[in-house]
Amino acid sequence: MSKISANAKGALLIGILAIVYLIDGRELSFGSAGMPGEGFVPALMGFGLLLCCLLLFLKETIFAGKGGNGGMAEEEEEKDTRRPLLLMVVLLLYPLLLPYLGFMLATIGLLLGCFRIFAFRNWLWSAGAAVVFTLITYVVFEKWLDVLFPKGFWG
């Protein structure tokens, strides 16, 4: 029996927390896609998190030898402590800047920062993906579901 990786242990722990989260939130009204209740988004987030944990756990245990680690050597990946710290900074700055910059600029900045921290392709791809994902989120939530986002300094 091989040793279970830290990633697999983390995925297992967070997966258990996601299950507890879903069990605790089952009392909230789910509603429907056309008229979501207060439990709609939390349930989607809980199931999404659980799915991600399951996929990571399977990747780390069953498919461990078949994939790569994104081109980064394992020793180099373990030594790189800047990425989690930068991610924490970006995630902490987002809610602070959101009222001032507005949803569009703050979210594009958040996604661009996350994409660059995780070395998603290059700057052009990262910027394009950040803009596209932000626009999709804006259309779905602000236009279809009538959720009001902060406009920022221009609006």
pLDDT along the chain (155 residues), means of 10: 76 87 85 80 84 87 64 53 81 89 91 85 90 92 84 75
Q: Are residues 114 and 53 in the same domain?
A: no
Give the chain's length: 155
**31 bridge partner residues:** 36
So what's the pLDDT on residue 112?
A: 92
Instruction: Write down the pLDDT at residue 72.
Output: 47
Task: Kindly state the tokens that stand for 82.
Answer: 């800047």
CB contact set of 12 (below 8 Å; sequence gap of 6+): 53, 57
Rounded Cα–Cα distance for residues 43 and 25 (Å): 7
Whether 100 and 135 share a structural domain: yes
Report d(CA 72, CA 94) in Å as an integer. 28
Answer yes or no: do 38 and 86 share one domain: no
Rounded to the nearest angstrom, the gap between the alpha carbon of residue 2 and the centroid of all alpha carbons in its chain is 30
Of 30, 47, 67, the position where a domain reaches its end is 67
Same domain, 88 and 126: yes
Same-domain status, 63 and 80: no
The whole-number pLDDT of residue 1 equals: 46
Whole-number pLDDT of residue 49: 85
Are 151 and 81 in the same domain?
Answer: yes
Q: What is the pLDDT of residue 136?
A: 93
pTM value is: 0.55
Structural domain of residue 54, as residue ranges? 1-67
Quote the number of domains for the chain: 2
